[in-house]
Structure 1
């Protein structure tokens, strides 16, 4: 075995950062190649297998390496336009920072399309060459960092499937620049690079001829196969689930049902499948546009089959009332002279498309007239801004709901590539301020004409086109849709776009149906490049070919945002993705963007920040915010009041409309709405919140206090033990310890004497101090559950027993709080003290670590030790407003090594510092990014241990302090790590 003394290398003439890299690489070598149990100071440079399984995304790793490197080289055989599109915003940001890259690729098997090479030429600061070697089939990614290189090599080409979807094997390795592996890879790449051809427009022209020649026969076969496609369409899994729920609904005797399904998820096919399964004698399909009816008729015919004469239109232009399946416009059928031609029970099954319009008098007239066996309503947006209640119309029978993220994950929609771009900034800041005011006021402004002139000026439109050209679109022809703030702006923008070489037409609600159809056909044929509109394409218009959607206005509603985003999500031949370009100004509602993109209804600022910071993938859909645009969104999130009473009242009223009664907390979980904890904690408990909403709730002062205990302490579900016991005691005033133990086992709960004693302390209120907040008095002052040692029984206090029997309001709120807490607890690991990646307050930690009393935050500080656990609380980004003595920098050295500081005025010999060095205590690490918005929640990162000999005595603001390295037993999840450290 060769002896390697890495310390000799450290003595060479290298700077401190390079010495650190040598140290870290040495530790990684020991840990990754010799013994994984070796405890090292840092193992971030260790080998890592990337396979696109849980927490091991090749795409995420490549994205990270790109954003942190000094330069990069890709040597890949196959490249797709879709993946180049995903990388464009990253490459653009790297170019702004002066980071250069190289791509070495090939013409192997003629996989790479000419269009891909054309897109590569657009990217600044990247040099592209074509390898001349036969059979070039490399798949390597090389990133130069300061003093070392990261290499990702394996089976993954530069394609969406390989980097984001397929089960691949790619190995990430690191080496000093002087390492042999780096020399081998470098020599191989440089040799091929030297002999390769430069990518030029001339080369692409030449390759295009060769490409067509070699692919001509294959393309002819593909086109022939497509034209004669006779495959039977079958329901996907989500449609199967929806069909089963509709069947069960009818089995229960329900005569109306509602399907809520994201735009483009196949509502029409779903309706056709259900009609086929019920086989009605006669069916009516209602819609508000003839264009929808024609396409729906074709879809139904394809699913159900039968004679062409079975399908007929009943519109202003066609009157086929005798068909088995009648497709009618509301405008025509609602007229009395037409409606009277049909018997009231003529149709067994009536399907109402875009049913959120059903509040209109025309719809009501038709629906009140007919008496079918079953009414099916379908919509993507049931939550309306008007007073009409579509849920009530369908007797609150929601059969199934398909949300946007689900549909994307299930590949039901065309993936989107979203890029948030900072809008054009004029040199005159007064103009920018006027434009911001105009957009923030929904287009209403006294100087509207002047502002419209600026928004459609030559310089701004040129800026917009520069971005749209760079980011491009999927397919051979641009079919673009632009949303702006006002009608005058749309007309002016269309003229300037046309003048600059992009034929465009403006459409608004003022235009006739004939004109709309004509303009849409021109877009589909490629005669025009863009339709510029305000809000008329939010729904009901099906233009599958749209491959680029551009937002040039403020976002005022996540409902409208999703509707407009959905215009591009329909699948179409030759369209792999839709490019979404969002030009972001200084708008107060920018916080809606991350909320809408992920269809997140939780009203969580943390979630909005995480989406903006981490830019998650949804299926293979990607999100990227350019730096300035990201800052504008963060600023909007900071200023927004997610839990304002105004917002909560809106959410509450929407839920009340949905369920047709005073909502339970369980309803908000069932329908993926706001986190019920936010509602209940707004006014200490849900009863108080309901009173604030104007509901009549009758509870005593004591009942109010114990409801506050339930909602504040247990509703979050972070430990389900107390909830299980209270649930057992709802209808039984006494429960034996054996019964409780059985319930804990049934629910797979961690169960030992320490936890049982902790549960007793919580429910007896002895955990809560008299002088702290919350105190025992805040929760009624006496035990909620008593424990009888003699009989080994838990006993619910007599006053609560009485209230459960005599006060129906209290009983409902008590049971709802318990059941909601149990539902919410499903996200937590019941067989562990804490769940890695979930959030906890210091009080949660005191309770769940079985502490005897609730220790206040002031007494905990950065860490707290009880008899068994050391609980460490880290705020990663400390406020500049705090004392200098505690502004030390706890920091990650890798995704499992934390450089940590003790409290100030501590020495190596201090008793509490010595506790870190012993095996007596199990160290639990909790971390939050910052104290923004008075955030009290910490992410649990898992157990950790002190790394031997890493402690150092230091000085902070004139006082002693101890630094040390802690090693986590589990690596921090990629997204969480970067969320905390970004």
Structure 2
């Protein structure tokens, strides 16, 4: 079907008959911001931008945050030589002078200012090789309009000769030709006359302040009320006490107001005396001020225990752990001196100083507060608090609740020298070379910051790098200082104050500001080092997440070199702890997990470096799995079940069984248990783990669940249960399920691995476990519990798949999966050389980017021409007269279902993305010649496969881009 016919079909569906069958690619769409499905106007805008050959924007209003959502994509287009034009205005004085300065930085975009009275258009036109796309409606180029507000926009696709698109283009050109070119002189003149509109946002509240008070709260504590998060947290902390517990742990993201929350709880508890413990002296004064605002009372009730201060008899004592933990201090304090004790940053409580203090005191209630309870020092914070997690709110939830400052994260390309890209082994001279300084300055200027005055933190990899770069930046006109672990506390505080007062542009540091420092006005965080851990990454990102009236968002600029730990970046941003490479790739392809106006963006080269790091990573090393296992065990207080891992967003159990065959074997490897059952039971668990746990077909799970519960079931009962759950059923599927459980489906090595004998036997109309399994289930509770745990986990996995169909679009499958799910009698994966026609089906497997080692006779030129068409080659030495080719060409007449499966490259292992059903375009079929390994000409047939469904945009780009 040519472009004109596809467009005609899409209009038929969009405007005449919604049941008309056509692809999704060109159909008219209503674009709205839907947080429930994570679909935003911004998604479509970026998809079109990434594919276009040029673009036109006509938007009345532009904000810094709105422009930030596009910056990395515009940088990628600039590298490809693609340009665009933006037409905007000064209507209502909405556009701040700074946004025009930001627009001027984007060298591949020309900007003009319309003088039309009441200019209020909101339209986006994208030119592609074969068509043009128009998005028009209510969304200006603001982050709120593109991601949050309730907006209506229509997306239409047109042939370049279409009348409607012609009118839009013509009107754009008319206004463009009358408009004024954006220049520095124009901006200078606009600044002089600019007066902000009356309804511009008032000063924003700092996150610690409850919603009801302002940055300058009244002194009367009676009127101060907790915000939404704090109300929920206070209720849960009280519930912990009502249950008779004397300890509670609060896990709350940096910047969400833990200090105020604790003060509200102290006010509710009304202790006779309270002790607040911190690890740094500079935190004390602010903590005391915050408590006085909430609790009221007189100054004399609030005292310090730090340095030379010894206010031991104050009602509310604020102490540093260094002073408090001294033996002479503790001797002066009765163990029951305080009935309420709080420990800030309690993840440090594994230190001996904290242990001495905790062992000494006997409070009625102990509250711990931290943003990062998962530690790498083996200390179990959860155990310290008797596993009573009173309240937990992580980064994603805090952003959803608008408790933190929004952020725009940019994964940018690190400098590349002739010798290669900067990595862990790069020489110091390269880290501070003039070329790298220029590169850093170019990137931080391009991506910018919110607000008038830059206040930045820059994290370096080593001390000498921080000092040398600071000197180089100062020589270029910036005002910076380097602070390291060698810098005194007094000097650190002095420089932080200078940064806050606008006397510094940047503080360059090496890890000392990961936590325990509060600079709410920071509006840019720059990462010039590899990501060593997800915890440190989030701590450093969090330095800019406190709200402040001088900024609307914080810019995070992460320089991504060839670091082996690059894969930790998408893991940290998405809070994915599954250790599943496919999940991590997905969070790199699709960043819609970030809610609100915040965005995650990667320049294309930087993104490809992370993809490579994911492929090269050893996520299943025993060390990595053991750490994740211990973290979960610490949290819940017992050996986790497989289902615990899914419930607590931890390791994907599939990762464990793919390496160790069963969870039982993993526990044995960790020496967590002695053998719980015999060799045959282990073979049964291996079969269930490797074949059923993935949840790709729920039918086996349902049958195994019924047998576990009842012992045996009739075929009718089984069918009724499937019907009751709305699961599709037919005789072929039942036959396939039974061949899996009888092991007839598997090859000889599979049968041997799984114990040779059928797991489920059929006697007439009755199905049941074989006698040995029945005895084990009856006599060995550990085995029975393990089977139940596995099936519960498989159920959880099954929700990822559409159980009304054999295969779910865009999910991943192995060749063996496909044989099973298409109801083939046997696993023929070892003999599917690219494709095979059997049982009325023909799965086709394509490795998109072939290895250079692949022989020329199998290095076919398969490629996606667009999101609905794959140009595909048969095996070599095949002609139009070959039977297997005829079966494919006559698939429609013969009722054969062709299924297309694609993987990006061999680094992805044996799993392929399912792109759906397809049929050959008979007009495209041709026989041609290719070279074999001896450079002789051999025949091959090539054709266009028309996909029934469009490949989703992010997956399409991932597959086609090298």
**TM-score of the pair, normalised by structure 2:** 0.89
Task: State whether residues 47 and 953 of structure 2, in contact with CA within 8 Å, keep that contact through their aligned partners in structure 1.
Answer: no
Aligned to 1:365: 356
Could you list the per-position Cα deviations for residues 219-251 of structure 1 after superposition, in whole angstroms to 9, with x for gaps in the alignment?
8999999556679654446x6665555455445
Cα separation, 1, equivalents of 2:233 and 2:698: 32
Could you list the per-position Cα deviations for residues 344-400 of structure 1 after superposition, in whole angstroms to 9, with x for gaps in the alignment?
334343322211100111111111122233333222222222232223222333445
Is 1:170–2:185 an aligned residue pair? Answer: no
Query: Cα 1:419–1:759, aligned 2, differ >3 Å: closer, same or farther?
Result: same
Could you list the per-position Cα deviations for residues 275-331 of structure 1 after superposition, in whole angstroms to 9, with x for gaps in the alignment?
455555544332212333433444455556666666554433554455554433222
Aligned to 1:632: 609
Is 1:576–2:569 an aligned residue pair? Answer: no
Task: State whether residues 412 and 603 of structure 2, in contact with CA within 8 Å, keep that contact through their aligned partners in structure 1.
Answer: yes
Query: Cα 1:220–1:369, aligned 2, differ >3 Å: closer, same or farther?
Result: closer
Could you list the per-position Cα deviations for residues 24-78 of structure 1 after superposition, in whole angstroms to 9, with x for gaps in the alignment?
44454455445455556x7734433322334753322222333333322211100
Cα separation, 1, equivalents of 2:850 and 2:579: 25
Is 1:543–2:519 an aligned residue pair? Answer: yes
Aligned to 1:928: 902
Aligned to 1:913: 888
- 5+ residue gaps, structure 1, are 1-18, 440-450
Task: State whether residues 712 and 768 of structure 2, in contact with CA within 8 Å, keep that contact through their aligned partners in structure 1.
Answer: yes
Could you list the per-position Cα deviations for residues 443-498 of structure 1 after superposition, in whole angstroms to 9, with x for gaps in the alignment?
xxxxxxxx545533444323322221222101111110011122222222222222
Aligned to 2:682: 704
Task: State whether residues 879 and 930 of structure 1, in contact with CA within 8 Å, keep that contact through their aligned partners in structure 2.
Answer: no
Is 1:979–2:958 an aligned residue pair? Answer: yes
Deviation of residue 779 (structure 1)?
A: 0.9
Cα separation, 2, equivalents of 1:253 and 1:343: 24
Aligned to 1:684: 661
Aligned to 2:584: 608
SS at structure 1 position matched to 2:907:
helix
SS at structure 2 position matched to 1:624:
strand
Aligned to 2:912: 938
Query: Cα 1:198–1:747, aligned 2, differ >3 Å: closer, same or farther?
Result: same
Equivalent residue for 1:253, pick from 239, 244, 266 = 244
Deviation of residue 82 (structure 1)?
A: 1.0
Task: State whether residues 906 and 913 of structure 1, in contact with CA within 8 Å, keep that contact through their aligned partners in structure 2.
Answer: no
Query: Cα 1:36–1:215, aligned 2, differ >3 Å: closer, same or farther?
Result: closer
Could you list the per-position Cα deviations for residues 886-926 of structure 1 after superposition, in whole angstroms to 9, with x for gaps in the alignment?
544454454345555555626488463266214745x3745
Task: State whether residues 27 and 43 of structure 1, in contact with CA within 8 Å, keep that contact through their aligned partners in structure 2.
Answer: no
Equivalent residue for 1:585, pick from 538, 561, 569 = 561
Query: Cα 1:78–1:932, aligned 2, differ >3 Å: closer, same or farther?
Result: same
Query: Cα 1:200–1:750, aligned 2, differ >3 Å: closer, same or farther?
Result: same
Cα separation, 2, equivalents of 1:311 and 1:894: 69
Cα separation, 1, equivalents of 2:200 and 2:182: 26
Aligned to 1:823: 796
Equivalent residue for 1:674, pick from 637, 651, 665 = 651
Query: Cα 1:717–1:401, aligned 2, differ >3 Å: closer, same or farther?
Result: farther
Aligned to 1:208: 191
Equivalent residue for 1:794, pick from 767, 772, 781 = 767
Aligned to 1:49: 30
* Larger deviation, residues 155-164 vs 144-153: 144-153
Equivalent residue for 1:778, pick from 726, 740, 753 = 753
Is 1:642–2:608 an aligned residue pair? Answer: no
1:479-878 equivalences in 2 (<5 Å)? 479-613=455-589, 618-619=594-595, 620-698=597-675, 699-730=677-708, 732-735=710-713, 740=718, 744=722, 747-769=725-747, 771=748, 773-774=749-750, 776-789=751-764, 792-807=765-780, 809-859=782-832, 861-866=834-839, 870-878=842-850
SS at structure 2 position matched to 1:635:
helix
Could you list the per-position Cα deviations for residues 675-718 of structure 1 after superposition, in whole angstroms to 9, with x for gaps in the alignment?
11111220222222222223443232212111111211112222
Cα RMSD (Å): 3.4
Task: State whether residues 879 and 927 of structure 2, in contact with CA within 8 Å, keep that contact through their aligned partners in structure 1.
Answer: no
Cα separation, 2, equivalents of 1:102 and 1:845: 48
Aligned to 1:10: none
* Larger deviation, residues 304-313 vs 417-426: 304-313
Task: State whether residues 56 and 86 of structure 2, in contact with CA within 8 Å, keep that contact through their aligned partners in structure 1.
Answer: yes
Aligned to 1:961: 941
Task: State whether residues 862 and 871 of structure 2, in contact with CA within 8 Å, keep that contact through their aligned partners in structure 1.
Answer: yes
Aligned to 2:933: none
Aligned to 1:443: none
Cα separation, 1, equivalents of 2:385 and 2:454: 41
Cα separation, 2, equivalents of 1:164 and 1:696: 49
Cα separation, 1, equivalents of 2:284 and 2:619: 40
Task: State whether residues 287 and 329 of structure 1, in contact with CA within 8 Å, keep that contact through their aligned partners in structure 2.
Answer: yes
Could you list the per-position Cα deviations for residues 746-794 of structure 1 after superposition, in whole angstroms to 9, with x for gaps in the alignment?
655444554444433332323324x3x42x22111222222332xx443
Aligned to 1:5: none
Could you list the per-position Cα deviations for residues 501-532 of structure 1 after superposition, in whole angstroms to 9, with x for gaps in the alignment?
21112212222222221111111111111111
Deviation of residue 814 (structure 1)?
A: 3.0
Deviation of residue 114 (structure 1)?
A: 0.8
Query: Cα 1:229–1:366, aligned 2, differ >3 Å: closer, same or farther?
Result: closer
Query: Cα 1:757–1:71, aligned 2, differ >3 Å: closer, same or farther?
Result: closer
Cα separation, 2, equivalents of 1:150 and 1:219: 34
Equivalent residue for 1:461, pick from 437, 455, 460 = 437
Query: Cα 1:167–1:278, aligned 2, differ >3 Å: closer, same or farther?
Result: same
Query: Cα 1:892–1:370, aligned 2, differ >3 Å: closer, same or farther?
Result: same
Deviation of residue 612 (structure 1)?
A: 4.1
Aligned to 1:895: 867
Task: State whether residues 24 and 43 of structure 1, in contact with CA within 8 Å, keep that contact through their aligned partners in structure 2.
Answer: no
Cα separation, 2, equivalents of 1:147 and 1:671: 47
Task: State whether residues 483 and 535 of structure 1, in contact with CA within 8 Å, keep that contact through their aligned partners in structure 2.
Answer: yes
SS at structure 2 position matched to 1:473:
coil
SS at structure 2 position matched to 1:827:
coil
SS at structure 1 position matched to 2:535:
helix
1:162-561 equivalences in 2 (<5 Å)? 162-212=145-195, 215=197, 234-236=226-228, 245-276=236-267, 278-302=269-293, 312-316=303-307, 318-321=309-312, 325-425=316-416, 429=419, 436=423, 438=425, 451-452=427-428, 454-561=430-537
SS at structure 1 position matched to 2:623:
helix
Deviation of residue 22 (structure 1)?
A: 4.4
Could you list the per-position Cα deviations for residues 130-157 of structure 1 after superposition, in whole angstroms to 9, with x for gaps in the alignment?
1111100011112233464322221111
Cα separation, 2, equivalents of 1:560 and 1:220: 33
Task: State whether residues 907 and 962 of structure 1, in contact with CA within 8 Å, keep that contact through their aligned partners in structure 2.
Answer: no
Equivalent residue for 1:98, pick from 81, 87, 93 = 81
Equivalent residue for 1:115, pick from 98, 114, 118 = 98
Cα separation, 2, equivalents of 1:908 and 1:310: 96
Cα separation, 1, equivalents of 2:530 and 2:204: 43
Aligned to 1:442: none
Task: State whether residues 847 and 906 of structure 2, in contact with CA within 8 Å, keep that contact through their aligned partners in structure 1.
Answer: no
Deviation of residue 872 (structure 1)?
A: 4.5
Task: State whether residues 451 and 550 of structure 2, in contact with CA within 8 Å, keep that contact through their aligned partners in structure 1.
Answer: yes
Query: Cα 1:854–1:122, aligned 2, differ >3 Å: closer, same or farther?
Result: same
Aligned to 2:934: none
SS at structure 1 position matched to 2:194:
helix
